[in-house]
């Protein structure tokens, strides 16, 4: 076939030639528009976007409480960089539902007990929502982003990690960590000439060490644990409710992502080691061991069935789960650390501070702890001991009520969510229930701003189940809640018998700093001494 030479290149077309030679669209515009006209277009575009942003805000806001207009585009982003508890409180008190819009996110805040419960208990309309950067840190395939049945099924496979038998098997490891860190407390105070020092960072490290020991046993070298403890605050900072939406180098999200990658890598190495030990029939000592052991049990059962071997029903594992890769295991264990680290560090800090300020309560904890050990303070902790510690438990519950670590839990509306008869949260909006007002509701907890453990013993606080939102409620309620409370009880019980500590009260001690969870603003100035026998 003859070549068709009738095709002409655009460059050969006399009419388009000038376009080609000037090279760019900008060149064309430059020829057609004057500088004044370009500015006109830019200003009009920006004004159009500002108007769109305001109209969108007002449309989302509807009848609920909130500023009548938003700072163009960014909203109160700059204020949110340094969130103040008092500002949150003012917002919660402004109405059962209130709102704020930061960048493209419209956020509805559900403040009262009933509004908060409505959000927690509406899985048809909402799902937990982490800030944008969390998908990048935890990875989009993480189980915490599953929804509906997929979430329920996955979670069932994890329940066995928090049974009575499981929790008891983690206790010796926890006790080792308490002993080690109590010695560290003494050392730090000694080196500081027994002058009070901010202990909040030390408590964060202690809680990270306890978590790592409980989650991955002895598989992780101490140096890695220390690195995780040190770097974890970078992850917390990257996951704050308000953060720059894109991961740019040297921003908080960037540092957080690097730290998260390091944690995932360390946990994956632990998973590989645990698989070897469990395959060889080792005794489970940590959460990872138990989970991997149940994977092997499921696999063994499946293989027998596949080979046609008759298996007695009693040999069938309660929950059949698949084999997970080292990285998948690591991702899930990372979510435990993510869920526990800030919350338990917050509770631990308040617990030590509040007990130092109220020594009469600490005396009763000590009495109870010695009594359940028949006077021998060296007796190891056991589950049945925990069950007998009604007073210590009351103290821990009151600390969690008085200073709830998790004051807000972000959710997102999967579809339009008619939260009340006259307000619908629009699809895509964030909905953030707060736990604080429910836990400081004078009808449920008389004198809510006073620390009163008696309300859990002689009072009726235990009956106020609807207000007890410390660990959330509904399908996503905290998986580690029993473990978390036992950890705090065991820790303060042991500390009461082995340590004496003093708190330097400052005007900031009772003021609340918000850093994902809540801490005393002066970071808890303490000094520890060994308690004689």
Q: Enumerate the known binding-site residues for heme.
A: 478
| C-alpha span between 170 and 158 (Å, rounded) | 15
Residue 474 Cβ vs ligand HEM, minimum distance, rounded to whole Å: 5
| C-alpha span between 138 and 334 (Å, rounded) | 8
Task: Determine, following the binding rule CB under 6 A, whether residue 478 of this chain makes contact with ligand HEM.
Answer: yes
Strand order in the sheet with 105-110: 97-102, 105-110, 430-433, 411-413, 126-128
Query: Stretches 186-194, 370-378, 480-488, 489-497: which one binds ligand HEM (CB under 6 A)?
Result: 480-488
Task: Determine, following the binding rule CB under 6 A, whether residue 336 of this chain makes contact with ligand HEM.
Answer: yes
Residue 208 Cβ vs ligand HEM, minimum distance, rounded to whole Å: 11
| C-alpha span between 22 and 28 (Å, rounded) | 8
Residue 70's contacts (CB-CB under 8 Å, 6 or more residues apart) are 53, 54, 57, 76, 101
425 has which bridge partners? 417
Task: Determine, following the binding rule CB under 6 A, whether residue 476 of this chain makes contact with ligand HEM.
Answer: yes
Query: Stretches 301-309, 368-376, 458-466, 479-487: which one binds ligand HEM (CB under 6 A)?
Result: 479-487
Query: Stretches 50-58, 61-69, 369-377, 468-476: which one binds ligand HEM (CB under 6 A)?
Result: 468-476
Query: Stretches 75-83, 235-243, 467-475, 495-503: which one binds ligand HEM (CB under 6 A)?
Result: 467-475
Residue 336 Cβ vs ligand HEM, minimum distance, rounded to whole Å: 4
Residue 476 Cβ vs ligand HEM, minimum distance, rounded to whole Å: 4
Q: What is the DSSP letter of 114?
A: H
530 has which bridge partners? 499
Which one of 406, 437, 439, 489 is in contact with ligand HEM (CB under 6 A)?
A: 406
Task: Determine, following the binding rule CB under 6 A, whether residue 480 of this chain makes contact with ligand HEM.
Answer: yes
Q: Cβ(461)–Cβ(486) under 8 Å?
A: no
Q: What share of the chain is helix, strand, coil (3-state, %, to 5)?
A: 55, 10, 35
| C-alpha span between 368 and 493 (Å, rounded) | 8
Task: Determine, following the binding rule CB under 6 A, whether residue 504 of this chain makes contact with ligand HEM.
Answer: no
Q: What is the 3-state secondary structure (H, E, C) of 141-201?
A: CCHHHCCHHHHHHHHHHHHHHHCHHHHHHHHHHHHHHHHHHHHHHHHHHHHCCCCCEECHH
Task: Determine, following the binding rule CB under 6 A, whether residue 339 of this chain makes contact with ligand HEM.
Answer: yes
Which one of 321, 430, 479, 514 is in contact with ligand HEM (CB under 6 A)?
A: 479
| C-alpha span between 198 and 215 (Å, rounded) | 27
Task: Determine, following the binding rule CB under 6 A, whether residue 474 of this chain makes contact with ligand HEM.
Answer: yes
Q: What is the 3-state secondary structure (H, E, C) of 315-353?
A: HCCCCCCCCCCHHHHHHHHHHHHHHHHHHHHHHHHHHHH
Residue 142 or residue 189: which is nearer to ligand HEM going by CB?
142
Binding mask 119-138 for ligand HEM (x = CB under 6 A): -x-------x----------
Task: Determine, following the binding rule CB under 6 A, whether residue 170 of this chain makes contact with ligand HEM.
Answer: no
Task: Determine, following the binding rule CB under 6 A, whether residue 472 of this chain makes contact with ligand HEM.
Answer: yes
Residue 168 Cβ vs ligand HEM, minimum distance, rounded to whole Å: 15
Please give the residue ranges that form the binding site for ligand HEM (CB under 6 A). 120, 128, 144, 155, 335-336, 339-340, 343-344, 347, 405-406, 409, 470-474, 476-480, 483-484
């Amino acid at each position: 076939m003859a070549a068709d030479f009738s095709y002409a290149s655009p460059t050969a077309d006399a009419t388009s030639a000038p376009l080609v030679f000037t090279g760019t669209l900008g060149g064309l515009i430059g020829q057609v528009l004057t500088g004044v006209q370009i500015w006109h277009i830019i200003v009009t575009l920006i004004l159009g976007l500002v108007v769109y942003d305001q109209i969108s805000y007002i449309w989302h806001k509807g009848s609920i409480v909130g500023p009548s207009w938003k700072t163009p585009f960014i909203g109160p982003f700059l204020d949110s960089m340094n969130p103040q508890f008092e500002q949150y409180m003012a917002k919660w008190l402004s109405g059962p539902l209130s709102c704020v819009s930061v960048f493209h996110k419209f956020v509805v805040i559900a403040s009262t007990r009933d509004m908060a419960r409505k959000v927690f208990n509406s899985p048809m309309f909402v799902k937990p929502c982490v800030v944008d950067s969390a998908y990048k840190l935890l990875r989009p395939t993480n189980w915490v982003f599953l929804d509906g049945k997929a979430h329920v099924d996955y979670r069932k496979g994890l329940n066995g990690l928090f049974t009575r038998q499981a929790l008891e098997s983690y206790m010796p490891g926890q006790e080792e960590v308490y002993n080690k860190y109590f010695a560290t407390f003494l050392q730090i105070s000694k080196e500081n000439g027994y002058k009070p020092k901010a202990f909040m960072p030390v408590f964060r490290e202690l809680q990270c060490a306890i978590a790592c020991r409980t989650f991955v046993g002895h598989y992780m070298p101490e140096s890695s644990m220390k690195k995780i403890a040190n770097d974890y605050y970078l992850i917390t900072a990257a996951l704050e409710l308000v953060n720059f939406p894109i991961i740019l180098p040297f921003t908080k999200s960037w540092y957080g992502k690097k730290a998260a990658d390091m944690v995932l890598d360390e946990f994956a190495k632990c998973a590989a080691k645990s698989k070897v030990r469990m395959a060889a029939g080792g005794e489970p000592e940590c959460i990872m061991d138990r989970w991997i052991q149940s994977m092997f049990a499921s696999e063994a059962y499946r293989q027998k069935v596949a080979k046609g071997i008759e298996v007695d029903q009693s040999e069938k594992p309660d929950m059949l789960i698949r084999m997970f890769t080292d990285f998948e295991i690591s991702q899930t264990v990372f979510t435990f650390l993510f869920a526990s680290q800030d919350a338990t560090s917050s509770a631990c800090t308040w617990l030590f501070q509040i007990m130092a300020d109220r020594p009469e309560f600490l005396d009763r904890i000590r009495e109870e702890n010695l009594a359940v050990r028949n006077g021998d303070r060296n007796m190891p902790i056991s589950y049945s001991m925990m069950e007998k510690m009604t007073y210590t438990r009351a103290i821990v519950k009151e600390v969690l009520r008085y200073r709830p670590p998790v004051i807000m839990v972000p959710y997102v509306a999967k579809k339009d969510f008619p939260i009340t008869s006259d307000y619908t949260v629009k699809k895509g909006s964030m909905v953030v229930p707060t736990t604080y007002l429910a836990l400081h509701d004078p009808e449920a907890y008389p004198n809510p701003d006073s620390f009163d453990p008696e309300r859990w013993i002689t009072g009726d606080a235990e009956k106020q189940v609807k207000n007890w939102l410390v660990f959330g409620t509904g399908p996503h309620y905290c998986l580690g809640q029993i473990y978390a409370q036992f950890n705090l009880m065991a820790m303060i019980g042991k500390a009461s018998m082995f340590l004496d500590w003093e708190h330097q009260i400052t005007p900031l001690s009772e003021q609340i700093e918000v850093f994902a969870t809540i801490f005393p603003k002066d970071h808890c100035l303490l000094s520890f001494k060994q308690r004689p026998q």
